[in-house]
Structure 1
Amino acid sequence: MPKLSDEAESFYISVYEMVQRVPVGHVTTYGHIARMIGAPQNSRQVGSALKYLRAGNHNEGEDGAATTLVEFNSESVPWWRVISSDGRIAFRARESMDRQGQRLQAEGIEVRGDSNNRPRIISLSDYGWFPRADDDDDDEIYESIPSANVL
């Protein structure tokens, strides 16, 4: 992970804490996470924050010192539950896309194949989690995606 300013670290922590709230068996979008943390214009930065999650459980930073971000890693933050607003797994290295599809399927989410029959497409109307930013109840889905955006 690159060295972060205090502002960037605060943003990353907000992203990680919000992603941790996405329930098993549901997905949300980069844009919705950005809106939920009060930065609606920063959906791409949400993706960047998830990209820089450490693998597994790390107890210290690269220099050996403890960091504020140690509690956040690729196992404690369910990055695989965040997808593009069109219901697709975001394009990146094939192995990472495959791993995300497999993790979603393991949670019972139906992931349909794309034109190359690779698991990439998720129905936001069936699996989407879109609570209002002003509501603290994690267990209900408050908004639905308009059918025009559902694949």
Structure 2
Amino acid sequence: MFPDLDTPAARAAAILKEIRAVSAGHVAGYGEIARRAGMPGRARLVAQVLRKYGAPDLPWYRILRSDGSIAFPAGSSSYREQGQRLRAEGVRVVKGRVVGLKATASVDEQIWGPA
């Protein structure tokens, strides 16, 4: 059951809770976080919440685009930091894209589970 998502604060809290639930060595897409928080289709809201409510203890670097790539501009300090943090957790990152892990489950995986 999803929490009451009528207020911006409630939506932000639900999104932050799901970001914190992504464990070390794993990644999730912005859209996947939105879906888990009870707001499918609100990937941009996840990015907005990260920008506005980011905290030092928040594992923001585990959140990627649905294709597994880092959303920051290539070469920026945030881009480099995200790649370094992911690598420190054992995630393979090549040219700004995570290799070997999926950022978002496919529709089939969401319905039927992993193969």
Identical aligned pairs, as a percentage? 34
The 8 Å contact of residues 31 and 85 in structure 1, kept in 2 or not, is answered as yes
> What is the CA deviation profile of residues 79-135 of structure 1, one whole-angstrom value per residue up to 9, with x for unaligned ones?
10000001100134811111111110110101102xxxxxx1102xx323668xxxx
- What letter corresponds to residue 106 of structure 1 in structure 2? A
- What letter corresponds to residue 78 of structure 2 in structure 1? S
**Partner of residue 101 from structure 2, selected from 110, 119, 127:** 127
The 8 Å contact of residues 26 and 81 in structure 1, kept in 2 or not, is answered as yes
Aligned to 1:90: 71
CA gap 1:143/1:32 in 2 versus in 1, 3 angstroms:
farther
By how many angstroms is 1:17 displaced? 0.4
Q: 2:66, 2:14 → 1: CA distance? A: 20
SS in 2 for 1:52: helix
Structure 2: runs of 5+ lacking an equivalent: 1-5, 106-112
Displacement over 4 Å in runs of 4+: none
Structure 1: runs of 5+ lacking an equivalent: 1-5, 55-72, 114-119, 132-141, 145-151
CA gap 1:12/1:92 in 2 versus in 1, 3 angstroms:
farther
**Larger of the two Rg values belongs to structure:** 1
Aligned to 2:89: 107
Higher helix fraction: Structure 1 or Structure 2? 2
SS in 1 for 2:53: coil
SS in 2 for 1:127: coil
SS in 2 for 1:111: strand
**1:81 matches 2:62:** yes
The number of residue pairs the alignment matches comes to 102
Taking structure 1 as the reference length, the TM-score comes to 0.61
